[in-house]
Amino acid sequence: MTDIESRIDTTRPHTARIWNYWTGGKDNYPVDREAGDRIRALHPGIGEYAKADRLFLGRAVRHLAGQEGIRQFLDIGTGLPSADNTHEVAQRIAPDARVVYVDNDPLVLAHARALLVGTPEGRTDYLDADLRDIDTILAAASKTLDLSQPVALMLLGVVIFIEDDEESYAIVRRLLDALAPGSHLVLSHTVTHPDMPDVDEAVAFWNEHGTPKLTQRTPAAVARYFDGLELLEPGVVSCSAWRWETPTADVAMYAGVGRK
């Protein structure tokens, strides 16, 4: 058994694997499917959040690689590989795009090494690190990315695992401070909203039974991550509504893209 395999706990449900289950993936275990079904019973639409967040990733990366000319992506909290990963979307538009993935989940790392293979013209690398390990992340990323040039910082559904508000804002700010002008922040976050009370119940169930625990924030608190940045239209909104031509129902995942 490898060191990575020894770190995979199949006895407790895990966020990345449940997310994978909800989006139709196969990289999950019975404990994850059971928890995912119980959460979906509490909030039937929650599986759509995972799908909407994934579609938001694709739209954001296509915009950045296409309209903004971004050729470097630092994707922290990668999650399990799925269809249209960041490097696949970016390198279809710009084959020379470079992507560094960061995650500390052993199952994610095991699959990333096997599946996340980029184009010959570009480069795709992986780092086993926690979001809080900012110096480690930046030092390792700089071996692949030129931090003196614009970078897209991808933080989809990951700052939800930082419970303390001020710590979470400080982490995002430190990462952005290390990036060049013209860099972009792409961020999504589970929200608490009076129009979606069943989400709170589902999150409470998750925090009692699953790992790692997550923190909801209000839409206004999510918007605060973009303080000091130029927000791209339409601002911080439900990820199902960010530059999506087909109207869809709001989901309790809010997202935005901001330019430094």
Read off the pLDDT of residues 63-111 as tens digits, 9 standing for 90 and up.
Answer: 999 999 999 999 998 877 677 889 999 999 999 999 999 988 777 777 7
Closest to 256 (Cα-Cα) out of 60, 55, 1: 60
pLDDT of res. 115? 60
pLDDT of res. 192? 86
Label residue 155 exposed, middle or buried (CB < 10 Å: 0-12, 13-18, 19+): buried
pLDDT digits (tens, 9 = 90+) for 160-203: 999 999 999 999 999 999 999 999 999 999 898 767 777 777 77
Q: Of the ranges 3-7, 11-15, 57-61, 174-178, which one carries the lowest mean pLDDT score?
A: 3-7
The answer to whether the beta carbons of residues 183 and 153 sit under 8 Å apart is yes
For 152-215, the three-class secondary structure string (H helix, E strand, C coil) is EEEEECCHHHCCCHHHHHHHHHHHHHCCCCCCEEEEEEEECCCCCHHHHHHHHHHHHHCECCCC
pLDDT of res. 203? 79
Confidence of residue 113 (pLDDT cuts 50, 70, 90): low
pLDDT of res. 7? 64
Q: Of the ranges 54-58, 64-68, 191-195, 219-223, which one carries the lowest mean pLDDT score?
A: 191-195
Question: Any alpha helices (H) in the chain, and if so which ranges?
Answer: 3-6, 15-22, 30-42, 46-66, 86-93, 106-115, 134-141, 165-177, 197-209, 219-223
Q: What percent of the chain has pLDDT over 70?
A: 91
Residue 41: CB atoms within 10 Å = 11
- Residue that is written with structure tokens 């960061």 in the block: 102
Q: How far is CA 143 from CA 75, 78, 131, in A?
A: 15, 19, 18
pLDDT of res. 5? 54
- Most confident listed range (31-40, 91-100, 208-217): 91-100
How far apart are alpha carbons 49 and 175 in whole angstroms? 26
Asked if pLDDT for residue 1 goes beyond 50, the answer is no
How far apart are alpha carbons 228 and 235 in whole angstroms? 13
The answer to whether the beta carbons of residues 239 and 253 sit under 8 Å apart is yes
The answer to whether the beta carbons of residues 225 and 217 sit under 8 Å apart is no
